[in-house]
Amino acid sequence: MKDNSDSQVWKIRTIKNYPEAHNHILVGKVLGVTDSYVRLHCTTYHFAKVVNKPEDIQIGNLMVRVVPWSRIEIINELPPTFDYVRSRLIADKEGEVLFEDGRHACPVGSGANYEVKY
C-alpha cells in the first residue's frame, strides 16, 4: 500500500446502483492507496438528490473506511489544511450546503439552485 504521509484530504462520491439511491460522500484523510482500494480516515454523508439545508444530510461516524476503486465515481482533492474532523455543514443560502472548517468551504451536493449534479 502506498502511504500518503503528505496528508491528502479527499472528498469521494461513490457510485449509485440506481438513480433513486441516496448519494454517499466520504470526506477525510487518505491513509493509503492500492491498486484495489483507497483507505481513509473519514466521515460519511448520505443525502437524497436535492439538498437545501444541512438537516437534509445524514452524517456518519468518523472512522477508518476502505473503499474499492470500483465503487468510486469521482474524487475531489481538498486543501491539505482542510480540517475534515472539525468541519461542519452550513447553508449560506437556500439550496447551497457546504462543508466549512473556518478557512475553506466545499460544496456538498446539489440543491434547487446549485449547478453541480450529484
Q: Are 12 and 26 in contact (CB under 8 A)?
A: yes
pTM, 2 dp:
0.80
SS3 62: coil
pLDDT digits (tens, 9 = 90+) for 1-52: 565 556 899 999 999 888 788 888 899 999 999 999 999 999 998 887 777 7
